[in-house]
Amino acid sequence: MRDRLEILRQEFRPTLRLAAPLVLAELGWMTMTLVDTAMVGRLGPRAIGAVGLGSMLFYTLGIFGTGMMLGLDTLVSQAFGAGKLEDCHRWLLNAVYVCLPAAPLLMGAMWLALPALGRFGINPAVLAEAVPFLKALLWSAPPLLLYFAVRRYLQGMSLVKPVMFALESANAVNLAGDWVLIFGKLGAPALGAAGSGWSTCAARVYMLGALAAYLLYRDRRQDLGLRRVPLAPDPARIRRLLGLGVPAGLMFSLEVGVFALVTALAGRLDAASLAAHYVALNVVSCTYMVPLGISSAAAVRVGQALGRGDARAAAHAGWVAVLCGATFMSAAAVVLVAIPGPIVRIFSSDAQVIRTGSILLAVAAVFQLFDGIQTVATGALRGAGDTRTPMLCHLLSYWLLGLPLGYFLCFRRHWGAAGLWAGLCAALVVIGTVLLAAWARQVRRASAVFPAAR
């Protein structure tokens, strides 16, 4: 016990130093969505549902592209841990070569998916506002993919404060854009929900610009060799990046996709139920940002330790990160149970939205612990180079268990939106349990491999 407490004490501080800015960055990302929801909420439940529906479709497809950049967590952190700085630069350059064709392909897929929205039986009034919002938002795909490439490169080398600054300051850009474009201030046309999409697009262009400016400034000041990297694409590196990034991208697409489909199914209910679903989804997405930031820190810490050939340090980093994520999400569950009504009132004053949203937050409280565990364990596994186990786990648990169960409870047992969320809850309990066991297995494998390598 004393040894374990000493490990916790030694590992907690460096993990916290790395995780804290990343958590703030993720919360800044979520704040942007919350501000969008609160601003369009002044237009009524229909506008909230439209933004929620459009956002979920965008992220279902867009998250695959950004998820492909998650391979940089493994590749850059392990190269940096091994002291190979030029390799870090090369991974970034080849990630950019992946982004350039991927962005227009994703935009095209989103555009082609627009007509399919009408086939889900979504409320026509909600759909009428969701389509213009999504058409504006899809133009943010190119800067978003490039932003994620630069971000993963920086945080793989433990340079996380610029990431935090870019996201936090982008919120000011987004807030100003919402105020001007949603409501037609300063002579601009009042675009309603679509104005929120254009504002988000501008904020993402800013985020990419901020990180790119820091990258060039740092390289010029310290002469780190980034500008001297050969510009020719490296097919072997691109294949390696895609080998890690595609499963990671698919995992996030599966996860976001199931929530998007649940949102579409909630759209078959009344407008208040859809609005309550989206409000509750925003709240749990906000709590999710904390373990997501810890997950990124876990990927970097584990990857850097394995780059040094230190399996013991990698194990300590992963377990301490999982403990941090589980602790926070347990506390979040208590808050969701204690004050659900006041939380929902932040976004809507509609009585039906508040009643339904409070029920959904109670369901969410049940899966908070397991969501935190699975998120951080996924990051630790990614740092070790395993992106396929989480992908398979999400596929089987969400799509073969959670979604069918949620549909049955919602439309056959007439539980409404609460039935959809009960299905998601069951899936997350399974995912959290399985990925925790997968990380324990990965620790045993690394301990067997790396001493022999040394």
**The pLDDT value given to residue 398:** 94
Tell me if 107 is assigned to some domain.
yes
What 3-state DSSP class applies to 434?
helix
**The pLDDT value given to residue 266:** 85
Residue type, 336: L
Tell me if 454 is assigned to some domain.
no
Percent of the chain whose pLDDT exceeds 90: 47
> Are the C-beta atoms of residues 450 and 306 closer than 8 Å to each other?
yes
Tell me if 273 is assigned to some domain.
yes
Which residues does 363 contact at the CB level (< 8 Å), separation at least 6?
418, 421, 422, 425
**The pLDDT value given to residue 454:** 40
* Position 114 pLDDT exceeds 80: no
Tell me if 223 is assigned to some domain.
yes
Task: State the chain's maximal CA–CA distance in angstroms.
Answer: 68
CA dist 251 → 62, 106, 331, 363, 391 (Å): 13, 16, 26, 23, 4
Number of domains composing the chain:
1
* Position 294 pLDDT exceeds 90: yes
Give CA–CA dist 282/263, Å, rounded: 12
Q: Each residue of 131-177: pLDDT tens digit?
A: 888 889 999 999 999 999 999 999 999 899 999 999 889 999 999 99
* Position 450 pLDDT exceeds 60: no
Tell me if 250 is assigned to some domain.
yes
Structure tokens at 224: 């780190």
**The pLDDT value given to residue 452:** 42
Tell me if 404 is assigned to some domain.
yes
Which residues does 23 contact at the CB level (< 8 Å), separation at least 6?
289, 290, 292, 293, 294
Tell me if 142 is assigned to some domain.
yes
Tell me if 453 is assigned to some domain.
no
Percent of the chain whose pLDDT exceeds 70: 96
Structural domain that includes position 443: 2-448
**The pLDDT value given to residue 453:** 41
Give CA–CA dist 44/278, Å, rounded: 13
205, HSE (Cβ side, Cα atoms, 13 Å): 12
Give CA–CA dist 101/65, Å, rounded: 10
Residue-averaged pLDDT of the chain = 88
